[in-house]
Structure 1
Amino acid sequence: MADAPKKMIMGSMAVSGIVALLALADIAIGIPFRGSTTMDIMFLISAGLVLFLCWDAWKDLR
């Protein structure tokens, strides 16, 4: 049962990393979303915030 928070943190980090990579790819080559650059920047900011929060929570679990 103590493994659940660690798995949730790692899952959140993985998903936010994927979102950040997709947003960077969309800015660079226009694939996969072909959306606006403003939304891509917002995705990058939110992914960075989630990564920071996950890192902080990971430190608290140690």
Structure 2
Amino acid sequence: MPKALCLLGMMVAILIAILFIADLAAGVPFQKASILMDIALIVCALMLGAISWFTFKEQA
């Protein structure tokens, strides 16, 4: 079960990063409401992905 949660965390991080990179680059879906918010959420998604990856590697 913990491995599944790590994989789920990585998938969520990827989806969040894709969503806010798309908003930053093309204004889809939030019409670039806040560039600072986009950057902050991309950084948070990267941190979530890294934490999930490191935890997944510890369990293997």
Q: TM-score, normalised by structure 2?
A: 0.92
Percent identity, aligned pairs only?
32
Q: What residue identity is the alignment partner of 1:53?
A: I
1:32 aligns with 2:29: yes
- Structure 1 gap ranges (5+): none
Superposition RMSD in Å: 0.7
2:59 & 2:37 partners in 1: Cα distance?
33
Higher-Rg structure is 1
Structure 1 stretches of at least 4 aligned residues deviating more than 2 Å after TM superposition: none
Cα drift, residue 56 of structure 1? 0.7
Give the equivalent residue in structure 1 for 2:45: 47
